[in-house]
Amino acid sequence: MRVLGVDPGLTRCGVGVIESGRAHEVTCLAVGVVRTPAGSELPARLMTVADTVEQWMHTHQPDVVAIERVFSQQNVRTVMGTAQVSGVVALAAARRDVPVAFHTPSAVKAAISGSGTANKKQVTAMITKILGLESPPRPADAADALALAVCHLWRSPMAGRLAEAEAKAAELARHHRARLKEAGRSRSARQAGGSSR
């Protein structure tokens, strides 16, 4: 599986592509940052991000795009820009029929470092080790993009199994309800037959 991880940001948007191999091997194919100048108009900045992400998708042909889920704990202005970048990235993926998955920052940290409260330095160190990189990806946005991609790669089999289990549980529940309904009809028919004698 090939995953494009995106750490959305208006000034710096981290992008990284990884690929799974044999025996849970994970390889970094590319990593970088899309930068947009703070003085530019918002539409132009979003277009720069969208164009660059589309170029990455065209070059690397990912099977899925993993994007960090936006949280409102930051200031509103930062959240708005981050959310808008997430939107244009998701749209670019949808135009290519590439599935999109969103992961929370704490889920990514937990998947990479074992702790949902790990700091950026710890995540960067772990992603460098996991991918066998010669040097840590810089800036942190680039490392975060790779961490998102690895998180998705590692969590997707579990998510698939959970979805399968939920589908089976729903089917069993439907079957059980149908049997209860049928038993209720039979009981009503017997009671009606008894009262008519």
> Is 41 annotated as a binding-site member?
no
> Is 97 annotated as a binding-site member?
no
Neighbours of 14 (CB within 10 A): 25
Is 97 an annotated catalytic residue?
no
> Is 141 annotated as a binding-site member?
yes
Neighbours of 48 (CB within 10 A): 18
Q: List the catalytic residue out of 41, 54, 68, 182.
A: 68
Is 141 an annotated catalytic residue?
yes
Q: Helices (DSSP H) in 96-139: which residue ranges?
A: 105-113, 120-130
Is 63 an annotated catalytic residue?
no
Q: List the catalytic residue out of 7, 41, 97, 134.
A: 7
Q: Is the peptide bond preceding residue 43 cis, with omega within 30 degrees of 0?
A: no
- DSSP code at position 100: E
* 19 φψ region: left (φ > 0), alpha (ψ -120 to 50), beta (else): beta
Q: List the catalytic residue out of 141, 164, 171, 182.
A: 141
- Which is it for the CA torsion 43, 45, 50, 55, positive or negative? positive
Annotated binding site: 7, 68, 141
Annotated binding site for Mg(2+): 7, 68, 141
The catalytic residues are 7, 68, 141
